């Protein structure tokens, strides 16, 4: 019996940490700024655990029965926390933070009650020294196990909703196990059994229907028909369709609309590449949709394009789905294109090739994981891979809505010794959007017309490099790995635009 209870400590410690990780990851996924979200969630959770431990002294009778009921409550509240938070975010976005911290606090209080009760139940069989050492050992081992499994197995393969429900089922399993172990000592055993099996059935039904739950929530979140949705180890990919308009969303953020993506991608590629008639080798970082590659392949002098994108699910989708293949014209399947699924920073550190033109098409720096790809350290790696007269171009958010963020990227590129040529273009889905060409020498737009497209001509390209007063340069810090100034600018500026 003692060993069974100690194993229960291992399980409930795993569950407790899992709920904390789910809340932190989900809030980061939905709100951005992973450092702030994890810090506040962990702080609230630990405080609540302390409150639960303090409250445990008021439980003086029927310790085993109360322990079983607490396991059921934490299983239900913690198990459905991710599903509930996702639904609140999609249907009632305003109170999301309030509901988040109430849920975290509630789960934390219940988890804080568990270990003191187990210790009081076990004190009949162990002296104090053995009791503390063994309970805490299994507690920490449980935390270690889930901290390894969560990022490597659970979140990538089950997703947040099913992961929460799985650990809710484990909490209820502990309650059922305790019900069996102590059946002779429980006066209300039948009532507790009814409660336990009801909780198990509710959580099992939730686990089985988690896919439909996500579909229901996303149907409200996205106005158009969802034709593809997948949670990968790196992001949530959703493609929607309304008539002939296809839209890609990554982690709820719009990446393109097929009605006007040509403006974005022509502006990203042609001002730089049209001025490099001798360009043979091109590198694209990000851009797993293949739309930038589509524009690059219009240049017959380009012999090889290397695309490095982190998520294999992304490049696989845009290499196989017929509507998306039609959009990128099968660019990722072209013989001249090599697709590599890897972290761009690590790939650059281990690569010795040189490129005439480099396209940096990462998502906006909404968190520190993305912000590192806009730092001076990253741009130094890029500069080493540029050929002698090569150019690189960086998509750099909006110089109108995120003005200081845009000029922060300019300052960061200049900090490593590159000359910059900032420019902008109107993309209706996003508004005014910014780009920066960087090179070792001064850049001048070429009078050579770009390949036939729908947006840019040799006459219109020079106009992109002129900035009106409301987008003119502002002073900004250099974005370094140790300060991530760009992420702070980006969040402050876009929070004023998106309410």
DSSP-derived 3-state class of residue 6: helix
- Phi, then psi, of 337 in degrees rounded to 5: -105, 130
Q: How far is CA 448 from the centre of its chain?
A: 41
In what helix (H) or strand (E) does residue 30 lie, and over which residues does it extend?
Answer: helix 2-31
Counted residue by residue, the chain has a size of 499
Query: Cβ of 338: how many Cβ atoms within 10 Å?
Result: 12
Q: Which of 409, 401, 429, 402 is nearest to 264 (CA)?
A: 429
Q: Is 125 marked active-site? A: no
Would you state the pLDDT for residue 9? 81
Q: Are strands 245-250 and 281-286 parallel, antiparallel or unpaired?
A: unpaired
Would you state the pLDDT for residue 187? 78
**Contact of 206 with 171, CB cutoff 8 Å:** no
Concatenating the DSSP letter of every residue in 360-403 gives: EEPPP--SHHHHGGGSHHHHHHHHHTEEEEEEEEEE---TTTSH
Domain positions in the chain are: 2-211, 256-497
Q: Are strands 281-286 and 355-361 parallel, antiparallel or unpaired?
A: parallel
Would you state the pLDDT for residue 92? 67
Class of domain 2-211: mainly alpha
For residues 349 and 246, give the distance between their C-alpha atoms in angstroms, rounded to a whole number: 35
Would you state the pLDDT for residue 35? 74
For residues 298 and 61, give the distance between their C-alpha atoms in angstroms, rounded to a whole number: 78
Q: Report DSSP state, residue 151.
A: I
Q: Which of 480, 259, 489, 260 is nearest to 397 (CA)?
A: 489
- Phi, then psi, of 203 in degrees rounded to 5: -70, -40
Q: What's the topology of domain 256-497?
A: Rossmann fold (3.40.50)
pLDDT digits (tens, 9 = 90+) for 291-314: 999 999 999 999 999 999 999 999
From 289, 356, 361, 364, active-site residue: 361
For residues 379 and 128, give the distance between their C-alpha atoms in angstroms, rounded to a whole number: 57
In what helix (H) or strand (E) does residue 102 lie, and over which residues does it extend?
Answer: helix 96-122
DSSP-derived 3-state class of residue 258: coil
Quote the tokens at residue 487.
């992420």
DSSP-derived 3-state class of residue 52: helix
pLDDT in tens, the chain (499 residues): 566 667 778 888 899 889 999 998 888 777 766 677 888 999 999 999 999 999 998 998 888 899 899 999 999 999 999 888 888 887 765 688 889 999 999 999 999 998 888 888 877 666 666 766 777 788 888 889 988 998 888 887 788 889 999 999 999 999 998 888 887 778 778 899 999 999 999 999 999 988 777 776 666 677 788 899 887 878 889 999 999 999 999 888 889 999 999 999 999 999 999 999 999 999 999 999 999 999 999 999 999 999 999 999 999 999 999 999 999 999 999 999 999 999 999 999 999 999 999 999 999 998 888 899 999 999 999 999 999 999 999 999 999 999 999 999 999 999 999 999 999 999 999 999 999 999 999 999 888 889 988 999 999 999 999 999 999 999 999 999 888 899 989 988 987 876 5
Q: Report DSSP state, residue 450.
A: P
- Three-state secondary structure string covering 481-493: CCCCHHHHHHHHH
For residues 407 and 136, give the distance between their C-alpha atoms in angstroms, rounded to a whole number: 51
Residue written as token pair 């939905």: 30
Handedness of CA 92, 98, 104, 110 (dihedral sign): negative
């Amino acid at each position: 019996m003692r060993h069974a209870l100690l194993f229960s400590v291992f399980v409930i410690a795993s569950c407790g940490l899992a709920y904390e990780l789910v809340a932190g990851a989900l809030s980061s996924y939905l709100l951005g700024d992973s450092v702030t979200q994890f810090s506040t969630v962990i702080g609230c959770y630990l405080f609540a655990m302390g409150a639960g431990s303090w409250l445990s002294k008021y439980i003086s009778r029927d310790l085993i029965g109360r322990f079983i009921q607490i396991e059921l409550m934490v299983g239900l509240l913690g198990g459905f926390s991710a599903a509930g938070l996702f639904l609140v975010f999609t249907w009632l976005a305003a109170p999301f933070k309030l509901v988040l911290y109430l849920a975290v606090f509630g789960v934390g209080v219940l988890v804080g009650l568990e270990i003191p009760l187990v210790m009081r139940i076990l004190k009949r069989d162990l002296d104090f020294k053995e009791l503390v050492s063994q309970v805490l050992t299994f507690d920490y081992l449980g935390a270690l196990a889930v901290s390894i499994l969560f990022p490597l197995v659970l979140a990538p393969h089950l997703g947040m909703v099913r992961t929460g429900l799985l650990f809710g089922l484990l909490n209820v399993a502990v309650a059922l196990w305790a019900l069996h172990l102590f059946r002779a000592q429980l006066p209300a055993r039948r009532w507790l059994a009814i409660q336990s099996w009801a909780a198990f059935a509710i959580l099992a039904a939730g686990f089985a229907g988690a896919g439909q739950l996500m579909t229901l929530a996303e149907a409200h979140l996205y106005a158009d028909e969802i034709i593809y949705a997948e949670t990968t180890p790196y992001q949530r990919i959703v493609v929607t369709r309304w008539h002939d308009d296809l839209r890609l969303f990554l982690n709820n953020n719009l990446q393109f609309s097929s009605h006007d993506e040509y403006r974005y991608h022509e502006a990203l590629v042609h001002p730089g590449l049209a001025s490099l008639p001798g360009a043979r080798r091109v590198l694209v970082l990000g851009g797993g949709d293949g739309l930038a590659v589509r524009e690059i392949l219009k240049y017959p002098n380009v012999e090889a394009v290397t695309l490095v994108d982190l998520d294999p699910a992304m490049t696989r989708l845009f290499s196989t789905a017929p509507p998306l293949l039609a959009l990128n014209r099968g660019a990722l399947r072209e013989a001249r294109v090599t697709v590599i699924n890897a972290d761009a920073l690590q790939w650059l550190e281990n690569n010795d090739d040189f490129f005439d033109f480099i396209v940096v098409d990462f998502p906006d720096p909404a968190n520190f994981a993305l912000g590192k790809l806009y730092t001076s350290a990253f741009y130094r790696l890029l500069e080493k891979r540029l050929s002698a007269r090569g150019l690189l171009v960086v998509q750099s958010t909006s110089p109108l809505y995120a003005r200081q963020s845009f000029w922060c990227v300019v300052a960061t590129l200049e900090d490593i010794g590159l000359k910059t040529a900032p420019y902008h273009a109107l993309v209706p889905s996003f508004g005014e959007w910014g780009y920066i060409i960087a090179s070792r020498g001064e850049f001048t737009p070429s009078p050579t017309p770009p390949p036939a497209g729908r947006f840019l001509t040799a006459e219109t390209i020079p106009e992109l490099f002129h900035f009106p007063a409301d987008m003119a340069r502002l002073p900004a810090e250099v974005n370094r790995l140790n300060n991530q100034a760009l992420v702070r600018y980006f969040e402050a500026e876009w929070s004023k635009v998106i309410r």
